[in-house]
Chain A
C-alpha cells in the first residue's frame, strides 16, 4: 500500500497526516509538491491535508484547486482512485467540483477548534468500513469556514445516494451551522471523501481523544485497499 500526501503552500497538517499513514498505519507514504503534474498511478490513496492553502485568499481552496497537481488528482479521481480531503482538503475538493456544494463562513463567525462528535451514517464507503453504522466518533474540528451549503435539491440527491458519510451528532454538536449537520460527504461513486474533522489529530491514543477514533478512518482505507487487491492505476 502506498499513500501520498499533497503539500500546498499554506498546508499545515501535511506532516500530521504523513505521521498517521507512515508511522501509525505503518504504510509507505510520499509527500507530493503542489506545483507539478504527477503520475499518481502508483498510489492507493491520495490525501489532501488541512491548512490554509494560499492563505485562504478569495475563498478557502479556490486557488489551490488550480495548482498543477490538481489536474493529476482530478484524473486520478476519474479513474476511481481513493481521495481523502481533510478540512482545507475538503474545501479544495468542493472548489474542484470533485464533491458537490460549497463552504461558507461558520455561522458563529468564529474559528472553532474543539472535539466534535460525528455519527457514521454510511459505513459502506472505503473510508468508513471499519466503523459501525450509527457509531459516534470523537474527532476534533479546527476551522473558520466549515459551514457546508448545498441547495435543497442537492441535499435530496446526497441523501438519496447515501453520500452523507458523517454528520455532527446533533444541532448542538454542529460547530459551524452546516446544512443538515453534514460533517463529511463522498461522491456518487464513493471513491472521493471530504470531511471537516481531522482524523489525523486523534489517530493514536497518545494524541488525546479517548479512543483514537481517527484511526478508524485510516484503517478503513487500508482495509478497503486490501479488499480491492490491486492498484487503481494498474487496471
Chain B
C-alpha cells in the first residue's frame, strides 16, 4: 500500500522568525492592519511506498522528520498521512 504524506516544518513559536516579521510588515503595508503572528515555514509532500500498516508509516515519517526534514533545535513539524487509492 502507498501513502501520501504532507509535512510542514515551522520555526518554534518561542523563536523569532525574521521572515514572518517581514511578511507581516508587507501585509500591513498593503493595508491589512488586523494581522498578527505571521510565520513562514516549509511544506513538503512525498509518497511512502509498500507499507500496509499505518502505524509503521507514521513511525518512518516521524523518524525522517527528526533526522533530516526538520531541525528539532529550532523547528516544529506536523504531518498528515493519507492512504492512496489503487
**Cβ distance B44 to chain A, nearest Cβ, rounded Å:** 9
* Interface pair A104/B11, CB less than 8 Å apart: yes
* Interface pair B22/A109, CB less than 8 Å apart: yes
Quick check: is A105 within 8 A (CB to CB) of the other chain? yes
- Chain B residues closer than 8 Å to A108, beta-carbon distance: 18
Interface size bracket, A side: 20 to 34
Pick the contact of B71: A63, A95, A151 (CB < 8 A): A95
**Cβ distance B20 to chain A, nearest Cβ, rounded Å:** 11
- Chain A residues closer than 8 Å to B73, beta-carbon distance: 100-102, 149-151
Q: How far is the CA of A214 from the CA of B51 in the complex (A)?
A: 53
Closest B residue to A107 by beta carbon equals B18
Closest B residue to A62 by beta carbon equals B68
- CB proximity to A under 8 Å, residues B11-62: 11, 15-16, 18-19, 22, 42
Quick check: is B5 within 8 A (CB to CB) of the other chain? no
Number of interface residues of B (CB under 8 A): 12
Q: How far is the CA of A7 from the CA of B16 in the complex (A)?
A: 33
Quick check: is B74 within 8 A (CB to CB) of the other chain? yes
Q: How far is the CA of A59 from the CA of B68 in the complex (A)?
A: 9
| Given A101-B73, A149-B74; A106-B18 close (CB under 8 Å) | yes
Quick check: is B81 within 8 A (CB to CB) of the other chain? no
| Given A102-B74, A149-B74; A58-B68 close (CB under 8 Å) | yes
A interface, by DSSP: helix, strand, loop or mixed?
loop
| Given A58-B69, A62-B68, A104-B11; A147-B74 close (CB under 8 Å) | no
Closest A residue to B68 by beta carbon equals A62
Closest A residue to B72 by beta carbon equals A102
* Interface pair B19/A105, CB less than 8 Å apart: yes
- Chain B residues closer than 8 Å to A105, beta-carbon distance: 18-19
Quick check: is A177 within 8 A (CB to CB) of the other chain? yes
**Cβ distance A101 to chain B, nearest Cβ, rounded Å:** 6
- Chain A residues closer than 8 Å to B74, beta-carbon distance: 102, 104, 149
Closest A residue to B12 by beta carbon equals A151
* Interface pair A102/B71, CB less than 8 Å apart: yes
Q: How far is the CA of A101 from the CA of B19 in the complex (A)?
A: 20
Q: How far is the CA of A62 from the CA of B16 in the complex (A)?
A: 21
- CB proximity to B under 8 Å, residues A87-123: 95, 100-102, 104-109
> Top 5 nearest A-B pairs by Cβ distance?
A102-B73, A102-B74, A107-B18, A102-B71, A149-B74
28 A–B contacts, CB within 8 A, in A order: A58-B42, A58-B68, A59-B71, A62-B71, A63-B68, A95-B71, A100-B73, A101-B73, A102-B71, A102-B73, A102-B74, A104-B11, A104-B74, A105-B19, A106-B18, A107-B16, A107-B18, A108-B18, A109-B18, A109-B19, A109-B22, A149-B15, A149-B73, A149-B74, A150-B73, A151-B73, A177-B16, A177-B18
